[in-house]
């Protein structure tokens, strides 16, 4: 209640994805289909991991956890955005905006940390194959997922408290299609320096931890791969790593583009395109990339289709 009483704004309005009414039907159908594919793909991935014992390994436990996060963080944004495409009034309450912001920040950060945990799993599997089951125990996998989530939801408290304790006493039009830091800070009628600092530090720490973990893991992985004498072994190692590298590259590049660069009005359209990519497209692409580039997943998927269809 204290946070709400400090501001005169009780509702926010979104500018939305586009001002063109001609594009609305196409965008609605396109993003609705993307969201359906996201749900089916990620639920399907989790079901495969749950049903088939051959996928009861640390790698696929982390992958199913990533699928769960993809479902949740896509659902925080996409349904609301779809409803606004069909509505003339694109509004959200102050509390609703704060909750959307909190859960989105938490889940995006969780995804980032899970991607780093998956790189560590690949490092252990390729560089220490004989000790893999001893190192990547069930408890270790659970701890990686739990602490990634805990740290992410904790840091999101700091970001949400910082942003929504600011006074919003002017325009309530958010130049975006969801509640995000840069467009929200533009609406504050006080200094946002400390919020920019908090956001920059938290994003940089989380991003640098992830990048360093991934860089070190793959440095050792590539050294081990080049030492292999078997071409088949090299191909298998590259195959299991390539899916993860593609997912990390797509996700991290768009996140860093949005949050770790100076903001100005001339980049608003680019911001929206980048945001669409990592909020809506990436959760759909992750299970597709792992399905199409992972031989084990393709084999199990073929078995499931023959068994149930």
Domains in the chain and their CATH numbers? Answer: 2-308 (1.20.1070.10)
Q: What is the DSSP letter of 171?
A: -
Instruction: Please count the helices (runs of H) and the strands (runs of E) in the chain.
Output: 12, 3
pTM summary value:
0.88
Per-residue pLDDT tens, the chain, 309 aa: give them.
444 445 467 899 998 888 788 889 999 999 999 999 999 999 999 998 998 888 889 989 999 999 999 999 899 999 999 999 988 888 999 999 999 999 999 999 999 999 999 999 999 999 998 999 999 999 999 999 999 999 999 999 999 999 998 888 878 899 889 998 888 988 888 888 888 888 888 888 888 898 899 999 999 998 988 888 777 777 777 777 887 888 888 887 777 776 666 655 444 677 777 788 888 888 998 888 877 667 777 788 777 777 766
Q: Which are the contacts of 101, defined by CB distance < 8 A and separation ≥ 6?
A: 159, 160, 163, 164, 179, 180, 181, 184
Helix or strand (DSSP H, E) at 37: helix 24-51
- CA–CA separation, 12 vs 195, rounded Å? 19
Q: Report CA 18 to chain centroid distance, whole Å.
A: 23
């Amino acid at each position: 209640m204290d946070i709400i009483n400090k501001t005169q704004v009780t509702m926010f309005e979104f500018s939305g994805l586009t001002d063109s009414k001609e594009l609305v039907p196409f965008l609605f159908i396109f993003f609705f289909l993307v969201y359906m594919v996201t749900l089916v793909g990620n639920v399907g991935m989790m079901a495969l991991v749950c049903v088939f014992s051959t996928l009861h390994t640390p790698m696929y436990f982390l992958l199913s956890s990533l699928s769960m996060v993809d479902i949740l963080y896509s659902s925080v944004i996409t349904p609301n955005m779809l409803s606004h495409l069909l509505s003339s009034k694109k509004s959200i309450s102050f509390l609703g905006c704060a909750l959307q912001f909190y859960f989105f920040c938490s889940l995006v950060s969780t995804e980032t940390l899970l991607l780093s945990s998956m790189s560590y799993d690949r490092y252990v599997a390729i560089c220490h194959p004989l000790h893999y089951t001893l190192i990547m125990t069930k408890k270790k996998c659970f701890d990686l997922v739990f602490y990634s989530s805990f740290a992410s939801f904790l840091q999101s408290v700091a970001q949400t408290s910082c942003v929504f304790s600011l006074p919003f006493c002017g325009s309530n039009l958010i130049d975006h299609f969801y509640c995000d830091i840069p467009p929200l800070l533009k609406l504050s009628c006080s200094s946002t320096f400390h919020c920019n600092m908090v956001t920059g530090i938290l994003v940089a720490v989380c991003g640098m931890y992830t990048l360093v973990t991934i860089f070190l893991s793959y440095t050792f992985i590539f050294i081990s791969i080049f030492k292999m004498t078997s071409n088949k072994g090299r191909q298998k190692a590259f195959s299991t790593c390539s899916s993860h590298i593609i997912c990390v590259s797509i996700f991290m590049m768009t996140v860093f583009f949005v949050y770790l660069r100076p903001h100005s009005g001339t980049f608003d359209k680019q911001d929206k395109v980048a945001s669409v990519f990592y909020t809506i497209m990436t959760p759909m692409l992750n299970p597709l990339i792992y399905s199409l580039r992972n031989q084990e997943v393709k084999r199990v998927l073929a078995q499931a289709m023959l068994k149930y269809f």
